[in-house]
Structure 1
């Protein structure tokens, strides 16, 4: 089979071969080679293909170890591509395609975590291991990770709920500043979360509301990151290279966050405009009905006055 990233072999077929190799107990080098070829296109893998059943008794229902190795191979490939793009003769900016692939893989792993969270035999160590291996800049929004942690904290009849210490250990991987408005609203009312995280969510919501009212979009933070990314003369070339890579990733992540936040602000502005239009329409209707009522009252009062004048004249004439 072709071993390059642009192979035309369907990933579903390759996953079928991998599952058969596991069932038949094929040689470990054969299985590792299949895993390596699949990991080259991990960002295009479907969630159903990733749900590999485990054959070991007493283990979790799904083969989490295989998925962990697939992710390790994928991240190693991304690092190699970035090392080539971040050569000393380059402009200091990595490949956009590799960063996009990493974001897609991050969404896939978060969906996988949410799917296996209800496994009654799932090891907490394996669950946390999948979260830890994925770098922070692989997630623009932590909604998927929060969803997985929420499913795990609910517990089932066969899988007890997390203890307070376990919940604190997992929740520390969630960045409250990377949660959407909907996720923040849910987390603020989630009594299964540690009190410390709920306070952080409320604090981030307060800052978000303050920035929305003041019109701030995080330009200060972005400029701070840009200024901090300037290499120092006292640093070695290798340290400068590593620092530039880290700062570039943070800048890309910050730009992605700003785009998502801008989209949310545009939606909120549209809803506010629609609400103002509806209120203005209701106000016009009320004023129109009020003016008509006043006009009718005026007509009736004038007619009543005329009748009173006529009756008084008749009484004077009779006298």
Structure 2
């Protein structure tokens, strides 16, 4: 007796189906070609066909069986459209083999055309099916249509109201904070669609995000989503952590730099230290950090060195950050440049006591920024002082290489006085510091004398003080103006006297120090007369 089920089909090792060969062959061109070459077997034993990597797997093949047994008719829904399309393509269910007016492929294509009427969960299910069979969905054009539908809903719907797009969308969410998804209070931190997209793999996320960028979705939201997606994916035991991290970095790099969190980039840098990222990807990450290094904190910059034998902290990476900052226009923004200089001074004070920090690296740090980055060199001087305390075996030449970056004219009187008495610094630096202070004093005295003589008359008071009066350019209230000028002049004169005293004191101390170091060639010349 002839068997009603004369074909055994093993689908991807998932499930075995016993079907009627004639029914399936009348619709499937692939089965028809395959079985027409099969040898004749016993009527009591069915033929066996094994499929590996059949798109849609056992679920899709079961839909195909229903289609064939129902003479080319099946209910097509948003949840099975993509599966039916994939199985129809793979099994060659084309128009020639179909007895109805439309092939299964054409029916599914028509169903996709109505995707604008699908709910968000249905679109996400279709996208999940597409990502499982990425190459087939991409070549067919279905993937682009599903992605466009998803992105259109995200760009048009309100972030504070997920129900505006679909009231059922929450069933797909992986909730990490049940209060934050629909709360307008927290909507600035995480948009409603963030959790929905966690079901997608990184390859699909790449396609979706690039489509968002092309449609000019707000970069700030895209950036927040990418940080959120990376955090969620890295917390799971995934074997694709490196690929996820590299893809997220590449996507962030394509965004407006001002939309990317500096703190978030440092978090990526920290977690990726053990992932062996590609050189180009790491360079992009460092470039993004460097371009906004003025927003960093000291704690973020204190990155452990990959090799503790060289130094405790990774100085090289900070130097690369600074180069990227200057290359990205940081030199042209004086305010940003000064912020970076202040941060760098704090960093140098932190790393200066490191006994493993080579003087060449320390020199690279103190010379990394232009002189215009600092109004004062007091912090720079203190960092150098700490470095010389720990590294007390440096030669005079090595010390001079470190100290030559100090702009002595930008040292305060207190720092200059400290330097003149500091035995750790080469004597030549003390002389240069005192010379710069002498120039300051002379300039101040010159300004004071000009102030006294400018378009004015001197008049001796009873107590012997001098009062500066304008002879010809009096304001409507001359008495009040005279009092202001008198107070200003007295303050300036007092300042000049104090500076002269301090200068004479430093000169005496320097003379004693130089006398004790007569063997040094740098101190063989007599000290200049600083104050007369």
CA distance 1:49–1:124, shift in 2 (3 Å): same
Q: Does 1:73 align with 2:328?
A: no
Aligned with 1:125 (options 349, 357, 360)? 360
Which string of whole-angstrom CA distances, capped at 9 and with x for unpartnered residues, describes residues 81-138 of structure 1?
85xxxxxxxxxxxxxxx12111211222222122111111112221112223322222
Deviation of the 1:169 alpha carbon:
1.2
Gapped regions of structure 2 (runs ≥ 5): 1-222, 224-251, 450-487, 496-532
RMSD of aligned Cα (Å): 2.7
Measure, in 1, the Cα distance between the counterparts of 2:491 and 2:298: 35
Q: 1:112 aligns with which of 343, 347, 350?
A: 347
For the pair 1:199 / 2:431, whether they are aligned, the reply is yes
Cα distance in 1 for partners of 2:312, 2:493 equals 45
Distance 2:373 2:308 in 1: 33
SS in 1 for 2:273: helix
Choose 59-68 or 141-150, whichever is displaced more.
Answer: 141-150
2:310 aligns with one of 59, 63, 80? 59
Give the Cα–Cα distance (whole angstroms) in 1 for the partners of residues 366 and 307 of structure 2: 23
Q: TM-score, normalised by structure 2?
A: 0.36
In structure 2, C-alpha distance between the alignment counterparts of 1:270 and 1:216, rounded to whole Å: 7
Match of 1:168 among 388, 400, 419: 400
Aligned to 1:212: 444
- Residues 271 and 36 (structure 1), Cα distance of their counterparts in 2 relative to 1, 3 Å cut: farther
- Which range moves more in the overlay, 133-142 or 170-179? 133-142
Task: Please say if 1:39 is aligned against 2:290.
Answer: yes
Partner residue of 1:315?
A: none
Asked if 1:141 is matched to 2:393, the reply is no
TM-score, normalisation: structure 1: 0.58
Q: Does residue 152 of the first structure (1) align with residue 387 of the second (2)?
A: yes
Tell me the number of residue pairs that the alignment of Structure 1 and Structure 2 aligns: 205
Aligned to 1:48: 299
Say if 1:39 and 1:70, in contact at 8 Å, map to a contact too: yes
Q: Deviations over 1:195-254 (max 9, x none)?
A: 11101111222222222233269xxxxxxxxxxxxxxxxxxxxxxxxxxxxxxxxxxxxx
Larger relative contact order (CA 8 Å, sep ≥ 6) = 1
Which structure: greater strand fraction?
2
Q: Which has the higher helix share?
A: 1
Whole-angstrom distance in 2 between the partners of 1:57 and 1:179: 34
Q: Distance in 1 between matches of 2:343 and 2:316?
A: 16
Q: Pick closer, same or farther for the CA change 1:5–1:210 going to 2, 3 Å.
A: same
Give a deviation string over 1:25-56, Cα, whole Å, max 9, x none. Answer: 22222222221111121112111111101122
- Aligned partner (choices 279, 300, 303) of residue 28 of structure 1: 279
Runs of 5+ unmatched residues, structure 1: 83-97, 218-265, 274-319
Tell me, yes or no, if structure 1 residue 18 matches structure 2 residue 18: no
Q: Secondary structure at the match of 1:206?
A: helix
Give the distance between the partners of 1:25 and 1:8, measured in 2 at CA. 23
Q: Does 1:269 align with 2:491?
A: yes
